[in-house]
């Protein structure tokens, strides 16, 4: 069984690039609150990675 984060990341990777996501697109995976928190974590991790890569 996958975690919510893994399922949401898989769904994001299945979309075409340059897509804007809304929390409601992930309600088939989990609740609104959990999807929102998970998406925030994913965004923060990716921004941190980009900043760390850029400034290193």
Q: For a pLDDT cut of 70, what percent of the chain falls above it? A: 84
What is the per-residue pLDDT for 28?
95
The mean per-residue pLDDT over the stretch 45-49 comes to 75
The larger pLDDT score, comparing residue 50 to residue 38, is at 38
The CA-to-CA distance between both ends of the chain, in Å, stands at: 36
What is the per-residue pLDDT for 51?
64
What is the per-residue pLDDT for 30?
94
pLDDT at 18 over 70: yes
The larger pLDDT score, comparing residue 13 to residue 17, is at 13
Task: Considering only CA atoms, give the Rg of the chain.
Answer: 12
């Amino acid at each position: 069984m996958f975690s919510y984060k893994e399922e949401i990341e898989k769904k994001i990777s299945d979309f075409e690039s340059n897509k804007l996501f809304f929390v409601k697109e992930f309600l088939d995976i989990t609740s609104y609150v959990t999807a929102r928190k998970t998406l925030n974590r994913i965004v923060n991790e990716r921004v941190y990675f980009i900043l760390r890569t850029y400034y290193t």
